[in-house]
Amino acid sequence: MAVTLSATGAGGLLDRETVINDFSIQVATVNGSGSQSANLVLLRSIFRMGIPVSGKNLFPSNIAGLPTWFTIRANKHGYVARKAQNELFVAMNPETIAEDEAQLMPGAVFIYNSDLKFTPSREDVLAVGVPFGAIVAQTCQEVKLRKLVTNMVYVGVLAQLIGIDLNEIEAALAKQFKGKEKAATLNFSAVQAGFDWAATNLDFKVPYRLERMDATAGKIIIEGNRAAALGCLFAGTTVVAWYPITPSTSLCENLIGYLEKHRLDPETGKATFGVVQAEDELAAAGIVFGASWAGARAMTATSGPGISLMNEFVGLAYFTEIPGVIFDVQRVGPSTGLPTRTQQGDLMALYHASHGDTKHLVLIPATPQEAYELAYQAFDLSERFQTPVFVMLDLDLGMNSWMADPFPYLDQPLDRGPVVTAEDLTRRVEQAPEGAKHDVFGRYRDVKGDGIPERTLPGTPHPLAAYFTRGSGHTSEAKYSEKPADYTWLVDRLARKHETARKYVPTPVEDWQGAEVSIVAYGTSEYAVQEARDLLAAQGISTNYLRVKALPFTPSVKEFVKKSRRVYVIDQNRDGQMASLLKLEIDPADAPKIRSIRHYDGMPIDAMSIVEPVLEMEKH
Amino acid sequence: MATTTPGPQTNRLGLTLNDYKGAPSTLCAGCGHDAITGQIVRAFYEMGVEPHRVAKLSGIGCSSKTPAYFLNKAHGFNSVHGRMPAVATGTMLANRQLLAIGVSGDGDTASIGMGQFIHLLRRNVPMIYVVENNGVYGLTKGQFSATADLGSTLKSGVANDLPPVDLCALAVQLGCSFVARSFSGDPKQLVALLEAAMAHRGTALLDVISPCVTFNNHEGSTKSYTAAKELDIPLHTLGFIPAFSQIEAEIDPGETRVVEMHDGSKLTLKKLARDYDPTDRAAAMATLMESNGKGEFLTGLIYVNEQQPDFISSLNLVDEPLATLPSSKVRPGKAVLDQVMESLK
């Protein structure tokens, strides 16, 4: 078996100093070829070695056949944002192999399937041809199984080259194929075959090495969608209405799985939840608001195109003051956009969803733990404020694998908001003065001056409980009205309610260093910003940081800008949507401080996409 | 001589007809919809339904205004155009103990809401779904709707050149478990159908021809009072006896067919010209097609299936409303979270 090494020792690569626990591996495969298992085993094995790690799936909008890439970043400092370049590359896809080689960084290790008709041409990378077909044939007698385990061979080759512990691979395989021992054994034999082949045929050491650390003990690996699903489960969600759409689908699928497992009544075996796969997003939203109107905790999850369809109902729910939680796992827009790529392009669309003067509560988690906590909190806020609440994730958070600490059990009682019961009404009637006994409840009254009204639920057994819900103009008593004064009173109260929400929504994460330069970001930009701040600090630029976790802005956002000298706002969209919103809401005198940094090519933002523009703008 | 003033009549709950009324109607004087509202009031009164148990739902349009005009002690929801079915589905999921009545129009159901209407029927969501069908858009002042008959004309003389959507045929085809058609000018039949619909478990569709006095009550209309009266072919005459009344004496075995509703109520169908079996789905479809061909307006109970499970029952939900389950029933404990976390390590 021939080993192809490019000439001249790959530009001296083999003589370089070894980099320990700080590099990325990318694997190129054909969508649908079963590479996901191999990639997750690779990820989990590194994680089990105690090394901080993240995994990102770059996949096409296609069922099978198109190119797909998986990137694993291992980093001893815990940086888990995307890195634009990868030190190690595994090329299994004949369609992209030439392109894959062309985009490698100098000094990269290029492991490729030598069964493919391909001749390496880069002088500055180390090309390692691996005869996958022959290796698999040796270890797997059954021809029809060979295709299934081929990808495991590169796990073995990498294990030998960069030092992944085979025991950890075995343990990761056992987890991956839980309950299917035969499959685990067969896959491990392919790993072993790859490892042995590399040990025999590759008599050199690459300058990238993994060494056991202790930075992942007790931690979990989870995707953001699964984390959000757990938030819904523990928030007591009882109605789920959804329509499948990438990249939100796994949120509902995970939630339904958890509900079926953990939410059957122990005495009767009956469900304490109802799930509807609706005919479209219009119906999904209608079911959510119908159920919430009747008092259930209801949710749906969708992506940009679904948000567009749900807008009509969102406006109705805003105006009629009905709770409901909508997860938007963003992909790239406008229109169908790039269905399997990530962006933060829906911020404005969520904040002002639907026609007329509307303003919504939007929660913006950055990490899996926040996806869990804010999903949970969304229901409390939605019922407290009787209004739709959006939870804005993106594909990067929702569908990729992240390391996290185990989630805390959220112990505070559920906030079901101001719901007036039949007993409450009876008591109020008893206590009301003569002549006012029929006036103890009005659906849209501003009872405490904070804009938040009270509601009764359909089915409340009291003659004073009923009211009429309508999307047309109405009075504080829920009567139809087109009178100018009634309308302005109503929309002004809604604005007042929104102002009250500023004090209740999650406060930003803030790190004030008294520096000249401030950074504002939100959502998944968090990871790249953390790394960028360290890189900037290494260049002598210390930074303050504020990460927005919700709309409307809490007062601290305005204060942060006020006390800052220059504010770089990081957006993963073309138009700098967060920068625009900030300019609208801060003191106009502070607006010139805002400088927008935008990243919007569909790839998760990386640290250098922040560092470079900051350095550039700091010159001026 | 002392006289006693007789008190108003009451139903089995001790409530009067007035207790089932709503706000005064703002529809045109003589509107067919107001007649239907009157029969809804009567049916709920006669059935002795507790008003607070009822959820009144609608979309947008003249018909959709009507839930405000009946049962003012019931919660009402006037939602968005054509999307009442989804709201009703959610409502019933949240609280299966409610009795839902949706009122819609021919535009709301057969055009903008066609998708949701179809899926409501597919799911057999337990509710009464009344279509107040006048073949015309009233609130936008007189355009054809999708149920307007081919060749019928607007007031301006413009003729309709598209075939109508037959909501009953569509419903039978989709397996809707209760399909009936009636006429706002036939209170006796309509009340019997509404009462049977209340006793039914599943979607009960009532397509009620309800002439629009302002825009569609003229010579060229096939949905005017005159046309409806002339073309009306009742399949049977209907009688309804709720489960709580004495039943046996009312039924004449030779000339009637009795449909037993799931709650034990009985719907009697007295044979008219034809021998019609409303439990035979294929025959129901054939009869509708035949009638449509003749330009008849067939009324009565077209199809019923009391065996088909409704959507809420098929979900195996707990008996109490999901909406008000205590937190102890809907929040798994810390052990469950720990178990999930362990599986992710």
Closest CB from A265, A276, A407 relative to B89? A276
Query: For residue B29, what is the DSSP state?
Result: T
- The shortest C-alpha distance from A592 to chain B (Å) reads 43
In whole angstroms, how large is the CA radius of gyration of chain A? Answer: 28
- Check residue A143 and give its pLDDT: 87
Residue B240's pLDDT band, with cuts at 50, 70 and 90, is very high
Q: Hey, of B16, B20, B57, B80, which one would you mutate to test binding to chain A, going by the most A CBs within 10 A of its CB?
A: B80
- The shortest C-alpha distance from A130 to chain B (Å) reads 32
Better-scored residue on pLDDT, B274 or A320: A320
- Check residue A1 and give its pLDDT: 39
CB contact under 8 A, B329 and A265: yes
- DSSP sequence for B136-182: EETTTTSEE-TTSPTT-B-TT-PBP-SPPP-HHHHHHHTT-SEEEEE
Helix (H) or strand (E) holding A446: none
Place of tokens 């389950």: B325
Question: What is the C-alpha separation between A251 and A328, in angstroms, rounded?
Answer: 10
- Check residue B254 and give its pLDDT: 61
Tens-digit pLDDT profile for residues B302-332: 999 999 999 999 999 999 999 999 999 999 9
Q: Taking 70 as the threshold, does the pLDDT of residue B1 lie above it?
A: no
ipTM of the complex: 0.96
User: Minimal CA–CA distance to A149: which of A162, A158, A136, A160?
Assistant: A136
- The shortest C-alpha distance from B10 to chain A (Å) reads 17
Question: What is the C-alpha separation between A613 and A518, in angstroms, rounded?
Answer: 13
Closest CB from A222, A233, A280 relative to B344? A222
Q: Strand A53-58 to strand A67-75: parallel, antiparallel, or no bridges (unpaired)?
A: antiparallel
B315 to chain A: closest CA residue = A274
Q: Taking 70 as the threshold, does the pLDDT of residue B250 lie above it?
A: no
B68 to chain A: closest CA residue = A468
Cα B54–chain centre separation: 13
- Check residue A492 and give its pLDDT: 98
For residue A285, list chain B residues with Cβ-Cβ distance below 8 A.
Answer: 86
CB contact under 8 A, A409 and B337: yes
The answer to whether the CB of A370 falls within 8 A of the CB of A410 is: no
- The shortest C-alpha distance from B182 to chain A (Å) reads 28
Tens-digit pLDDT profile for residues A45-56: 999 999 999 999
- Check residue B4 and give its pLDDT: 66
CB contact under 8 A, A465 and B322: no
Residue A10's pLDDT band, with cuts at 50, 70 and 90, is low
For residue B315, list chain A residues with Cβ-Cβ distance below 8 A.
Answer: 271, 274-275
Tens-digit pLDDT profile for residues A218-246: 999 999 999 999 999 999 999 999 999 99
Q: Name the pTM for this structure.
A: 0.96
CB contact under 8 A, A468 and B78: yes
Helices A143-162 and A166-176: crossing angle in degrees, nearest 10, is 140
Closest CB from B50, B86, B123 relative to A286? B86
User: Minimal CA–CA distance to A499: which of A462, A553, A446, A453?
Assistant: A553
Question: What is the C-alpha separation between A44 and A42, in angstroms, rounded?
Answer: 6
Q: Taking 60 as the threshold, does the pLDDT of residue A3 lie above it?
A: no
Burial class of residue A491 in the structure, from the number of CB atoms within 10 Å of its CB (0-12 exposed, 13-18 middle, 19+ buried): middle
Residue B247's pLDDT band, with cuts at 50, 70 and 90, is low
Q: Taking 80 as the threshold, does the pLDDT of residue B246 lie above it?
A: no
- DSSP sequence for A411-427: -SPP---SBPPHHHHHH
The answer to whether the CB of B165 falls within 8 A of the CB of B110 is: yes
Mean pLDDT of all residues in A433-461: 97
CB contact under 8 A, A289 and B87: yes
The answer to whether the CB of A54 falls within 8 A of the CB of A80 is: yes
User: Minimal CA–CA distance to B258: which of B246, B250, B266?
Assistant: B266
CB contact under 8 A, A274 and B315: yes
Give the contacts of A232 (CB within 8 A, at least 6 positions apart). Answer: A240, A255, A299, A325, A375, A376, A379
Mean pLDDT of all residues in A594-604: 98
- The shortest C-alpha distance from B242 to chain A (Å) reads 22
Q: What mean pLDDT, rounded, does chain A reach? A: 96
Mean pLDDT of all residues in B75-92: 98
Tens-digit pLDDT profile for residues A288-310: 999 999 999 999 999 999 999 99
CB contact under 8 A, A459 and B73: no
- The shortest C-alpha distance from A73 to chain B (Å) reads 18
Identify any residues that bridge with A388 across adjacent strands, giving them in sequence order. Answer: A324
Tens-digit pLDDT profile for residues A496-510: 999 999 999 999 999
For residue B322, list chain A residues with Cβ-Cβ distance below 8 A.
Answer: 238-239, 272-274, 291, 296
Closest CB from B95, B332, B337 relative to A294? B95
Tens-digit pLDDT profile for residues A482-532: 999 999 999 999 999 999 999 999 999 999 999 999 999 999 999 999 999
Tens-digit pLDDT profile for residues A279-289: 999 999 999 99
For residue A222, list chain B residues with Cβ-Cβ distance below 8 A.
Answer: 344
Q: Hey, of B66, B87, B98, which one would you mutate to test binding to chain A, going by the most A CBs within 10 A of its CB?
A: B87
Tens-digit pLDDT profile for residues A397-423: 999 999 999 999 999 999 999 999 999
CB contact under 8 A, B79 and A222: no
- Check residue A579 and give its pLDDT: 98
Q: Hey, of B71, B340, B342, B343, which one would you mutate to test binding to chain A, going by the most A CBs within 10 A of its CB?
A: B340
Amino acid at A525: S
CB contact under 8 A, B115 and A222: no
CB contact under 8 A, A270 and B316: yes
Q: Taking 70 as the threshold, does the pLDDT of residue A607 lie above it?
A: yes
Q: Hey, of A216, A222, A237, A238, which one would you mutate to test binding to chain B, going by the most B CBs within 10 A of its CB?
A: A238
Question: What is the C-alpha separation between B98 and B320, in angstroms, rounded?
Answer: 11
Q: Taking 50 as the threshold, does the pLDDT of residue A9 lie above it?
A: yes
Residue A6's pLDDT band, with cuts at 50, 70 and 90, is very low
Q: What mean pLDDT, rounded, does chain B reach? A: 93
For residue B93, list chain A residues with Cβ-Cβ distance below 8 A.
Answer: 239, 274, 276, 287, 290-291, 296
For residue A293, list chain B residues with Cβ-Cβ distance below 8 A.
Answer: 77, 87, 90-91, 94
Q: Where are the alpha helices (DSSP H) in A456-524?
A: 484-501
Residue B2's pLDDT band, with cuts at 50, 70 and 90, is low
Q: Taking 80 as the threshold, does the pLDDT of residue B253 lie above it?
A: no
For residue B318, list chain A residues with Cβ-Cβ distance below 8 A.
Answer: 265, 268, 270-272
Question: What is the C-alpha separation between A332 and A340, in angstroms, rounded?
Answer: 8
- Check residue B249 and give its pLDDT: 53
Torsions phi, psi of A477, nearest 5? Answer: -100, 15
Cα A548–chain centre separation: 15
Q: Taking 70 as the threshold, does the pLDDT of residue B251 lie above it?
A: no
Tens-digit pLDDT profile for residues A175-222: 999 999 999 999 999 999 999 999 999 989 999 999 999 999 999 999
Residue B295's pLDDT band, with cuts at 50, 70 and 90, is confident
